[in-house]
């Protein structure tokens, strides 16, 4: 079955935006402009969650565009492909397709594709720590958005420019961009974007020790997120507000806000936020010299981390067992197929002379027994190998469980030799602190950055290491340390 047909066949089981797009494709004729646009939108939806799938969809879309002479559609297809490569941290490939999209946009005077191309290029420069280059391309997006009166894109690029200035520690300029973005989001009704700019601005004021101003912004952001029922946004705002209160030595308020953040994180299974909030509560307890409470929070934090590790280990074992069962079923099918083929040949021979049939049957029987013996022998060999593989995996998992939780020792040069995209010195510094059980706030204080900047660097570290969170980063570091022993 063709790749796209497989995707479409699954669409009736779910109700997500991706499934809606896949369902729409079943009611369209191939080769139409609407069909091609829908495939491109589907690729963009997959880019963040399944980049490999997005790349396959863009290859399909490119072939369709060429086959049906829809050259003008290639610009947006290249944008989708660039986005997928970027989420795979393959920035050279990502930028190559962004520039191809840019050339198409110039050829067809397609301003939307031009804006999207400049945006993607700016983001890829940002991920490579080339903040000035990122600002250069984001500024192009700003100019084009103003010219075309594209308020939504203007609001988001102003937010990006604010983030860039924050990374360059130009906090006043950062705030100016957030304020401009907030005004636009208010006018356009983009409430989620507005709430995020409020929270981002509050974080800047916390860094600047302007605690009252920061608290005012957190209150507004919280109200917006509550109206939207945006649980993650509510949790993050409460957590940032609690960090602001802690830094201002308002320990009672910090404790109350952190507990509210913890309640939401637990209720909606925001596991990583549960870990961060327990860490924040531990810091608050230590600031109050309540060492018993701090110890209890540390124990709870460790239990959540262990649960996350256990889930990952169970997932790995389940995947291996599923692989083993699938292989075993495949062997059984191959054996039955061979036996059926031999039976068919035997029946066909019966129509010939009796003597010929007898001789042929004997010959086929001998061949059949030989083939069956060979297949069974191969099946047993494969089964034994799979069993050994399962045992080896369980031994490795047991080894990981028994390893000390102390942070592994690993050198930047040695780590970068094993990565496709190397870590910068700043990323490596934050990475070491993160796997040494330091909270985001502690890291921010040690390296003199904002908490949001630390979170941003951690996100890039996770992408380059190919992990999703802090516990997987620790797991990765342990494996690298063991491989050097």
Residue range 396-413, pLDDT digits in tens:
544 443 443 455 667 888
State mean pLDDT over 17-43.
Answer: 76
End-to-end C-alpha distance for the chain, whole angstroms: 47
pLDDT at 331: 61
Residue 392 has pLDDT above 60, yes or no: no
- Domain 412-483 falls under CATH 1.10.10.10: yes
State mean pLDDT over 423-429.
Answer: 89
pLDDT at 485: 55
- Could you give the count of Cα atoms lying within 13 Å of 264 in the half-sphere of its Cβ? 22
Residue carrying the six token digits 């993607």: 120
pLDDT at 7: 39
State mean pLDDT over 259-286.
Answer: 89
pLDDT at 341: 63
Per the model's pLDDT, the better-predicted residue between 386 and 362 turns out to be 362
Could you write out the three-class secondary structure of the chain? CCHHHHHHHCHHHCCCHHHHHHHHHCCCCCCCHHHHHHHHHHHHHHHHHCHHHHHHHHHHHHHHHHHCCCHHHHHHHHHHHHHHHHHCCCHHHHHHHHHHHHHHHHHHCCHHHHHHHHHHHHHHHHHCCCHHHHHHHHHHHHHHHHHCCCHHHHHHHHHHHHHHHHHCCCHHHHHHHHHHHHHHHHHHCCHHHHHHHHHHHHHHHHHCCCHHHHHHHHHHHHHHHHHHCCHHHHHHHHHHHHHHHHHCCCHHHHHHHHHHHHHHHHHCCCHHHHHHHHHHHHHHHHHCCCHHHHHHHHHHHHHHHHHHHHHHHHHHHHHHHHHHHHHHHHHHHHHHHHHHHHHHHHHHHCCCCHHHHHHHHHHHHHHHHHHHHHHHHHHHHHHHHHHHHHHHHHHHHHHHHHCCCCCCCCCHHHHHCCCCCCCCHHHHHHHHHHHCCCCHHHHHHHHCCCHHHHHHHHHHHHHHHCCCCHHHHHHHHHHHHHHCC
Residue 327 has pLDDT above 50, yes or no: yes
pLDDT at 194: 93
Asked which of 28-32, 77-81, 464-468 is least confident by mean pLDDT, the reply is: 28-32
pLDDT at 302: 87
pLDDT at 316: 47
Task: Kindly provide the b/e burial profile for residues 229-263, where b requires at least 16 CB atoms within 10 angstroms of the residue's own CB.
Answer: ebbebbbbbbbbbbbbbbbbebeebbbbbbebbbe
pLDDT at 261: 93
pLDDT in tens, 150-190: 998 899 899 899 989 988 989 999 999 999 999 999 999 99
Task: Kindly provide the b/e burial profile for residues 354-373, where b requires at least 16 CB atoms within 10 angstroms of the residue's own CB.
Answer: eeeeeebeeebeeebeebee
pLDDT at 304: 83
Name 218's Cβ contacts closer than 8 Å, sequence gap at least 6: 198, 199, 202, 237, 240, 241, 244
pLDDT at 282: 92
pLDDT in tens, 129-146: 899 999 999 999 999 999
Name 84's Cβ contacts closer than 8 Å, sequence gap at least 6: 43, 46, 47, 51, 52, 54, 55, 58
Q: Could you tell me what percent of the chain has a pLDDT over 70?
A: 75
pLDDT at 344: 58
pLDDT at 125: 93
State mean pLDDT over 368-372.
Answer: 66
Contacts 24+ apart (CB under 8 A), 303-309: 304/271, 304/274, 304/275, 304/278, 305/275, 305/471, 307/271, 308/271, 308/275, 308/469, 308/471, 309/400, 309/401, 309/471, 309/475
Asked which of 295-309, 379-393, 456-470 is least confident by mean pLDDT, the reply is: 379-393
- Could you give the count of Cα atoms lying within 13 Å of 458 in the half-sphere of its Cβ? 25
pLDDT at 2: 43
The mean pLDDT value of the chain amounts to 81
Residue carrying the six token digits 């830094």: 247
* Cα 159 from Cα 161, distance rounded (Å): 5
pLDDT at 260: 95
Q: Residue 417 corresponds to which tokens in the numbers above?
A: 């030799």
> Which among 1-15, 17-31, 195-209 has the top mean pLDDT?
195-209
pLDDT at 402: 42
| pLDDT category of residue 80 using cuts at 50, 70 and 90 | very high
Phi, psi of 268 (to 5 degrees): -105, 15
| pLDDT category of residue 239 using cuts at 50, 70 and 90 | very high
- The pTM assigned to this predicted structure is 0.52
pLDDT at 476: 83
Q: What is the fold of 1-109?
A: 1.25.40
Phi, psi of 210 (to 5 degrees): -95, 75
pLDDT at 1: 38
State mean pLDDT over 211-236.
Answer: 92
Residue 242 has pLDDT above 90, yes or no: yes
Residue 210 has pLDDT above 90, yes or no: yes
State mean pLDDT over 418-433.
Answer: 87
Asked which of 83-87, 100-104, 417-421, 450-454 is least confident by mean pLDDT, the reply is: 417-421
State mean pLDDT over 369-376.
Answer: 67
Phi, psi of 10 (to 5 degrees): -90, -10
């Amino acid at each position: 079955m063709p790749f796209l047909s497989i995707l479409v066949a699954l669409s009736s089981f779910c109700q997500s935006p991706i499934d809606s797009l896949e369902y729409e494709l079943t009611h369209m004729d191939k080769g139409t402009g609407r069909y091609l646009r829908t495939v491109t939108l589907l690729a963009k939806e997959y880019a963040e969650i399944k980049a490999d799938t997005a790349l396959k969809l863009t290859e399909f879309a490119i072939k369709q565009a060429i086959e049906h002479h829809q050259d003008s559609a290639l610009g947006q297809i290249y944008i989708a492909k660039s986005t997928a490569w970027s989420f795979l941290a393959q920035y050279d490939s990502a930028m190559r397709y962004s520039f191809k999209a840019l050339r198409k946009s110039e050829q067809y005077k397609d301003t939307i594709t031009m804006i999207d191309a400049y945006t993607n290029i700016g983001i890829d420069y940002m991920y490579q720590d080339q903040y000035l280059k990122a600002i250069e391309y984001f500024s192009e997006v700003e100019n084009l958005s103003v010219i075309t009166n594209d308020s939504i894109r203007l609001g988001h690029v102003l937010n990006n420019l604010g983030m860039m200035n924050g990374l360059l520690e130009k906090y006043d300029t950062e705030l100016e961009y957030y304020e401009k973005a907030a005004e636009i989001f208010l006018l356009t009704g983009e409430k989620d974007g507005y709430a995020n700019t409020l929270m981002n601005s509050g974080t800047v004021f916390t860094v600047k020790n302007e605690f009252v101003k920061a608290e005012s912004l957190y209150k507004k952001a919280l109200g917006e997120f509550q109206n939207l029922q945006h649980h993650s946004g509510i949790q993050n705002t409460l957590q940032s507000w609690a960090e602001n209160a802690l830094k201002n030595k308002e320990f009672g308020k910090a404790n109350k806000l952190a507990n509210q953040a913890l309640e939401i994180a637990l209720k909606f299974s925001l596991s990583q936020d549960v870990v961060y909030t327990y860490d924040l509560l531990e810091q608050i307890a230590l600031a109050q010299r309540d060492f018993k409470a701090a110890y209890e929070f540390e124990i709870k934090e460790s239990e959540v981390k262990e649960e996350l590790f256990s889930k990952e280990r169970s997932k790995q074992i389940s995947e291996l067992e599923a692989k083993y069962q699938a292989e075993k079923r495949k062997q059984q099918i191959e054996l039955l197929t061979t036996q059926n083929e031999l039976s068919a040949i035997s029946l066909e021979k019966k129509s010939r002379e009796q003597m010929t049939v007898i001789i042929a049957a004997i010959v086929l029987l001998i061949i059949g027994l030989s083939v069956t013996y060979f297949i069974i022998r191969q099946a047993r060999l494969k089964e034994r190998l799979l069993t050994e593989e399962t045992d080896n995996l369980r031994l490795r998992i047991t080894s990981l469980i028994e390893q000390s939780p102390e942070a592994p020792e690993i050198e930047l040069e040695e780590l970068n030799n094993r990565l496709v995209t190397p870590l910068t010195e700043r990323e490596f510094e934050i990475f070491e602190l993160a796997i040494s059980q330091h909270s985001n706030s502690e890291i921010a204080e040690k390296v003199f950055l904002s908490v949001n900047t630390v979170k941003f660097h951690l996100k890039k570290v996770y992408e380059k290491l190919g992990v999703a969170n802090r516990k997987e980063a620790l797991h990765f570091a342990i494996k690298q340390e063991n491989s050097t022993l």
